Structure 1
Amino acid sequence: MTPFSDTAPIATHPRARGVGSRLLGGSAERSWPPAAADRRTRADLLPLRFPRTILRGHGRVAVFRSDQNGLGARHLGIGMSISGAFIALFLLARLIIQCDPTRIPMLSVLAWVILLATAVTVHCAVRKLASRLPLWLFLAALGACAVVVALDLPGSWGVAGAAAFPTAAPAVGAFLLSIVTLRETGEITLATVALGLTMSAVTLFEAREDLLTLGPDILSTALAVAPPLVGASVVQAFRRMVQRELDLVLVQSTVSQPRFAVGMLASEQLARLDFDAETLLDDVAQGRTALPLVPSTATTAASLATQLRLHLIKGRTETWLHHAITESEFLGPVVTLNDPAGLAGLLSPPQRDGLLLTIWLLIGDTARSGASVCLRLGPISPPHGVGVQRKVLFPIELTTTGVSRRRVDPETWQAIRAIGPHVDSNPTGSLRVDIECSVDNPADA
């Protein structure tokens, strides 16, 4: 194991200096103690040193999914729980009304006891577990719900001890509605579909003397299936909205970058490389690594130097727009950028905002129809007219696929006008916009 692996022990020293001290700030600006008596590992320090890594790409999605009840969903979950409680109370009242005092349906009563105990246990456990529902607890709750359905549905076959019409089985749907914000919507949907199929099979294959008894069973099945399915749809739409807004906020942070710069992901990778380089230099300075370096350590040092040089070169070829597209979960797969001269870096802040908002609105309004956007910037046009000697003119060609002009929001046109004069056309049923962009000449700055 090399001393630069993620699990190798690293000694921290308050006098350590290097590029990382200038890049990440002094000891007062860091989020971990500058000196420690014990030895720490890089895996222990990285989550504290680089907290922004969780906000980009797959890491951000993983953090969001790990807390399904966060980012405002807690309030939505409270509303779902209250709705489920009202449905359960209605079904319990129905059991009491239809119950014959001379013949108490013990199986249905037992089913209700199990269901209420399961609901109370799950919600108390969720409060103890910081609003999270582990998989094992979810599976245990589903097993208890299966027992409830098995005890309550035999009433449809006339088994002694069960009610004439099921009430606890439909209440399982109310329970699923109350936990819809705690698990993936797909899991809740599968459990609801299984419940609906089971109740529908019992309803269809039951021997009936009176056809009018079919109505209450259909009502019970609908009451068991409809609320959790609607709740899952609402929660899924809410989560997608939150993820899109979070992605938009993070993408907009690239607007203030200089013309050529490394993106947020590259900055974190550069900081990680600097951490390894700083550790190596500190080991050599403190005498923990002898000179000359052993072949394995020398190879590691050469690799670090090569990667640092590549990052510095890469930072002079990629503009803010490249990082905004590639680091976005929603824009990356559907937006193509062709800007070999890096002209996007010359745009002023209002023009950058307008261009980014234009792309976002075009993709956001038609995300479900397979829309895509292709951007082509340049080449630079010769100046024409009076008073444009200090300006750089170049065209921006915006070509879309699957976006018709009539579906474009008026705010999109306002954002395009912030970039420059434009001409739009619809040659193949998709929108194409040619923008004449005028920016300050960087040679005159």
Structure 2
Amino acid sequence: MSLLNRSPDASAASPETTHEIHFRRPSRSARAAEDIRSAHGGRRLAVGIAMAACVLVLAHLAHAIGLIGVYPPGAGPAWAWIALAVVAAGTLVATRGLTRVADWTYALVLVALVVPVWLDLASTAGLLHLGVTPTAAPAAAVLLMPVVALRETRTPVAAAALVALAITVAALLQVRSAGSWTVVGLAVAASALVPVVLAAVAVRGFRRLVGRELDLTLVQSTVATPRSAVGMRASEELAELDFDAESLLDDVGSGRLAIPLPADAAAHAGELAARLRVRLIEGRTDTWLRHAVTESAYLSRRVTVDDDQGLAGLLAPEQREGLLLALWLIAGQRRRKATEPPLEVRVRCHDALPALSPGSGDGRARIADGDPGRAGDDAGSGDGVAIDLDVSGVSARRIDATAWDALDNVGVHEIVPSPEGFRIGLECRIDPTVRGQASPSAVNPRGA
């Protein structure tokens, strides 16, 4: 996510919730989209995982207490559990009240966990034939479960895998003397890794879900914008142009630059004027739909917009919301196999016929070859906009039914399957007065 404007709170964002896109999101919205560990239910998830980890640690402790009578005289897991308790207590004291654990503290905790693991493996070495298995070592790995919910998931899983590997090696080295007890030793190794992996899977799914919903919430602000609204990217560019222009005018007004301007200052002024003119001309057709796709970390990877006339800006707010939700559900489909082609959606907006083609008698969509799809009420006659959604890489049957319900609010739609995917043809009725209020043809490039 090198192109995103990242705040200090989001510097440790995991790759599950971030995507590289050609858009520099303002720090406030970037922080809202990335800070899902201590907010948006992330803290409750961490507390739940911590409680599950405590239960598993207590189970391992009860197992260790039950093995006290089996240990040979002078041996036992006491020192390993004492070391584990010291590490756990020190970690709680060092991180109490912190919303984010520093990297050096995190690394120190991982290194400190080596001590109880080593003590436990040393105290149980050669005793597997008696039914003595490590207890503090798998408990040390289980303590990494809350870390999975607070930081990225790869490092805790890798650390737990190393602990499980050490227990596995210790069990396999005793296979001749242990016999069938080797299976028990391998089960203990699995008990060190499986809980951490399950916690990582749950956390990654949670982060993916919350990240998608937050991203959708952020781009939904474009639904209520005017027809030729300026998005966050253009706002930042215009702010930079405004600052450069004010600096140049201030130099002229204060006498630091003489009139006529020097060659370098004149060239800089011409460049600013050209950039501002291009920005203003493009802004007439840079509609809410283009902003929503560009500013979304998910839509920008799969959706392209072809709307040179800015016709998407003619849609009513409820039509915009339905189209945005439908695009979100279609573009959010995940590939079932790595060999499947990537999903792509191309949105093309163009003028419809003077009178919209009526649908079937009950106003439903025209459906080809039994593909699912529904349309809203018959648009009837009047001025309209036609929108084509060319979808490749997925079939219409795999699209969530909510997408078709969302398209009901946009207009009459027709689904046509194709070898690569399918096409959705939308005929949207609009208010004729809206087109006359802000027509792109009224833009005079020379006067911009």
Q: Same fold per TM (> 0.5)?
A: yes
SS at match of 1:332: helix
Aligned residue for 1:139?
A: 107
CA contact (8 A) 2:352 2:427 kept: no
2-structure distance, mates of 1:443, 1:83: 59
1-structure distance, mates of 2:415, 2:207: 34
Pair 52,91 (structure 1): closer, same or farther in 2 beyond 3 Å = same
Aligned residue for 1:180?
A: 148
2-structure distance, mates of 1:136, 1:439: 59
Pair 432,173 (structure 1): closer, same or farther in 2 beyond 3 Å = same
2-structure distance, mates of 1:250, 1:367: 25
> Structure 1 length as normaliser, TM-score?
0.77
The reply on whether 1:69 has 2:42 as its aligned counterpart is: no
SS at match of 1:172: helix
1-structure distance, mates of 2:242, 2:165: 58
CA contact (8 A) 2:319 2:409 kept: yes
Aligned residue for 1:80?
A: 49
Structure 1 residue identity aligned to 2:422 = L
Pair 337,210 (structure 1): closer, same or farther in 2 beyond 3 Å = same
1-structure distance, mates of 2:357, 2:181: 85
Q: Greater shift after overlay, 255-264 or 231-240? A: 255-264
Deviation string, structure 1 residues 297-343 (Cα, Å, up to 9, x no partner): 66655554443333222211311111111111000111122222221
- Within the candidate set 344, 356, 360, 2:324 is matched to 356
SS at match of 1:366: coil
Aligned residue for 1:125?
A: 94
Measure how far apart 1:347 and its partner are.
1.0
The reply on whether 1:381 has 2:353 as its aligned counterpart is: yes
2-structure distance, mates of 1:298, 1:136: 52
Measure how far apart 1:242 and its partner are.
1.3
CA contact (8 A) 1:422 1:435 kept: yes
- Within the candidate set 405, 416, 430, 1:439 is matched to 430
> Structure 2 length as normaliser, TM-score?
0.77
Aligned residue for 1:371?
A: 343
Question: Structure 2: where are the runs of 5+ without partners?
Answer: 1-23, 359-378, 438-448
Deviation string, structure 1 residues 2-33 (Cα, Å, up to 9, x no partner): xxxxxxxxxxxxxxxxxxxxxxxxxxxxxxxx
Measure how far apart 1:230 and its partner are.
0.5
SS at match of 2:193: helix
Aligned residue for 2:256?
A: 290
Measure how far apart 1:170 and its partner are.
0.2
Deviation string, structure 1 residues 99-124 (Cα, Å, up to 9, x no partner): 13873535x32222222222222232
Q: Greater shift after overlay, 421-430 or 259-268? A: 421-430
CA RMSD of aligned residues (A): 3.1
Aligned residue for 2:58?
A: 89
Aligned residue for 1:418?
A: 409
CA contact (8 A) 1:372 1:400 kept: yes
Structure 2 residue identity aligned to 1:291 = L
Aligned residues: 384
Measure how far apart 1:344 and its partner are.
0.8
1-structure distance, mates of 2:401, 2:207: 26
1-structure distance, mates of 2:159, 2:262: 59
The reply on whether 1:196 has 2:164 as its aligned counterpart is: yes
The reply on whether 1:53 has 2:19 as its aligned counterpart is: no
- Within the candidate set 184, 187, 193, 1:219 is matched to 187
CA contact (8 A) 1:397 1:435 kept: yes
The reply on whether 1:333 has 2:301 as its aligned counterpart is: yes
Aligned residue for 2:369?
A: none
Pair 111,381 (structure 1): closer, same or farther in 2 beyond 3 Å = same
Deviation string, structure 1 residues 74-98 (Cα, Å, up to 9, x no partner): 1111111111111111111211221
- Pairwise mapping of residues 392-407 of structure 1 onto structure 2 (< 5 A)? 392-407=383-398
2-structure distance, mates of 1:340, 1:102: 82
Deviation string, structure 1 residues 357-396 (Cα, Å, up to 9, x no partner): 111111224366632212122144233799x999323422
2-structure distance, mates of 1:365, 1:99: 54
Report the identity percentage: 38
CA contact (8 A) 1:92 1:167 kept: yes
2-structure distance, mates of 1:294, 1:193: 67
SS at match of 1:179: helix
2-structure distance, mates of 1:114, 1:281: 69
Structure 2 residue identity aligned to 1:176 = L
2-structure distance, mates of 1:422, 1:259: 23
Question: Structure 1: where are the runs of 5+ without partners?
Answer: 1-50
- Within the candidate set 168, 184, 196, 1:228 is matched to 196
Aligned residue for 2:121?
A: 153
- Pairwise mapping of residues 264-279 of structure 1 onto structure 2 (< 5 A)? 264-279=232-247
SS at match of 1:381: coil
- Within the candidate set 236, 244, 249, 2:217 is matched to 249
CA contact (8 A) 1:152 1:168 kept: yes
2-structure distance, mates of 1:427, 1:257: 34
1-structure distance, mates of 2:401, 2:182: 52
